Amino acid sequence: MAAITQHPTAKTDFANPTTSQIIFIRKREVMRRTGLSSTGIYDLMARDLFPKSIKLAGGKAVAWLESDIGQWQEQCLANQAREAK
């Protein structure tokens, strides 16, 4: 039986880079993790309801901070829990 490894989720602390791990994830991975389409992502970004992308070196490629996507998902769950009450 294979062991399951759990990775702790860490909040990005830019003031203390030794304790933070900055991970960029590309759009395909963001889509996979959130279940959103490309159009859905950009629509939510335009309405300030989704984390903004970051331009990578060269200016054509974009990515998102993994921590920002995780925080957005946590906020979605919190909003859903509040609405259920």
What token pair was written down for 16?
A: 């203390």
At 4 the pLDDT is: 46
pLDDT tens track, the chain, 85 positions: 444 444 444 454 555 555 578 999 999 999 999 999 999 999 999 999 999 999 998 888 999 999 999 999 999 999 998 888 7
Whether 15 contacts 5, CB under 8 Å: no
The CA distances from residue 40 to 27, 29, 62, 63, in Å, are 12, 14, 16, 16
pTM of the predicted structure, to 2 decimals: 0.73
Whether 13 contacts 20, CB under 8 Å: yes
At 6 the pLDDT is: 45
Q: Classify 70 as helix, strand or coil.
A: helix
At 78 the pLDDT is: 94
Q: Does domain 24-84 have CATH number 1.10.287?
A: no
